[in-house]
């Protein structure tokens, strides 16, 4: 797979987001199925795996550690702190002592001596970002982690954090239908030399082209049921974008999912993508997207078809928006 720079590392343009093997999208797959997918990703050339303490409240880190420990030398490992499960509830906590404790727990679950890239999963607005990043810098100094990342962060906060310690990566949502990162933080990453890592590049599965009715296809506990774009009113409007989108994919000899990933790779040549999946077939499709070259005309047509103006509904509900630090488009 074609490589892209991620701080001191070189990784494939398409990595693997491991969250949905344990968290947020309904009942997780059986352990053996999850293990098979992780190992198949390695076989296909994936060398960047992304997990977090939050996912399954530790279960995802444990899964990744148990399955991939024998192959640790073959991939770059990313995890996250600052948002974890406490007594069965999701808690954002960026205090230095919490981040240090979470890292120690993560190292045990991941069965490794060092985490290559460790993100602050969410900014804790009650703790100065300088204090949270300072604690992560201490972990670098102690050899517990190799590099620091931030997730769902604004350009201003990124610059403040970078003043404490070099920031290697910023992870935020980015896809045809989620363009908030284009407001400022992608440019800020280029300014400081950080890599932007795009999560949900398939628009939470929407651009895979197989989701037609969230009310019947999504199971209880799926986080998309609380997202405005997947409510009946907004989703019906968004579905109207897919017929032409599928036509473009077919003309390019690509699956809808491959088209979504290839659009980002063509438009953002420094970006690394971490789509998630539970399907071996979808995994193979996603990896193959790294070899798909789109013409400037196709990129422009996709830009015009699916964008902030044509998509109905926000990416998060009001409660979740209060928890993130990213720039937002005017309502």
Residue tagged active-site, from 25, 55, 174, 245: 55
> Residue 209: left (phi > 0), alpha (psi -120 to 50), or beta?
left
Cα-based angle 40, 173, 85 (whole degrees, multiple of 5): 75
How do strand 89-92 and strand 83-86 relate by DSSP bridges? Answer: antiparallel
DSSP annotation string for 157-201: HHHHHHTTS---EEEEE-BTTB-GGGTTHHHHHHHHTPEEEEE-T
The b-or-e profile of 85-115 (16+ CB within 10 A means b, else e) is beeeeeebbbebebbbebbeebbebbbbebb
The distance of Cα 106 from the centroid of its chain, to the nearest Å, equals: 18
Has 55 been annotated as catalytic? Answer: yes
Strands (E), the chain: 3-6, 9-12, 16-17, 48-50, 76-81, 83-86, 89-92, 115-120, 145-151, 169-173, 195-199, 272-273
Catalytic residues: 55
């Amino acid at each position: 797979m074609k490589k892209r720079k991620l701080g001191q590392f070189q990784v494939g343009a398409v990595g693997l987001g491991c969250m949905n093997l344990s968290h947020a999208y309904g009942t997780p797959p059986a352990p053996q199925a999850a293990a098979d997918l992780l190992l198949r990703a390695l076989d296909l050339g994936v060398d960047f795996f992304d997990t977090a303490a939050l996912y399954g409240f530790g279960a995802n880190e444990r899964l990744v550690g148990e399955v991939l420990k024998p192959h640790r030398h073959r991939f770059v490992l990313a995890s996250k702190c600052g948002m974890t499960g406490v007594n069965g509830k999701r808690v954002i906590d960026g205090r230095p002592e919490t981040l240090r404790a979470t890292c120690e727990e993560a190292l045990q679950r991941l069965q490794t001596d060092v985490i290559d890239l460790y993100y602050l999963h969410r900014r804790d607005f009650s703790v100065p970002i300088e204090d949270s990043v300072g604690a992560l810098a201490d972990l670098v100094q102690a050899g517990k982690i190799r590099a620091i990342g931030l997730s769902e962060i604004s350009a201003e906060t990124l610059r403040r954090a970078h003043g404490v310690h070099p920031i290697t990566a910023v992870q935020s949502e980015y896809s045809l239908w989620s363009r908030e990162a284009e407001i400022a933080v992608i440019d800020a990453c280029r300014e400081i030399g950080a890599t932007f890592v795009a999560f949900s590049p398939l628009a939470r599965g929407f651009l895979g082209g197989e989701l037609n009715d969230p009310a019947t296809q999504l199971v209880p506990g799926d986080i998309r049921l609380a997202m405005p774009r997947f409510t009946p009113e907004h989703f019906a409007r968004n579905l109207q974008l897919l017929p032409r989108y599928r036509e473009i994919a077919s003309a390019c000899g690509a699956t809808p999912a491959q088209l979504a990933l290839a659009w980002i790779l063509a438009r953002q040549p420094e970006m690394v993508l971490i789509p998630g999946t539970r399907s071996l077939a979808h995994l193979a499709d996603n990896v193959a997207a790294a070899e798909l070259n789109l013409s400037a005309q196709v990129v422009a047509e996709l830009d015009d078809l699916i964008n902030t103006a044509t998509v109905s509904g926000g990416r998060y509900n009001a409660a979740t928006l209060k928890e993130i630090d990213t720039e937002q488009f005017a309502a």
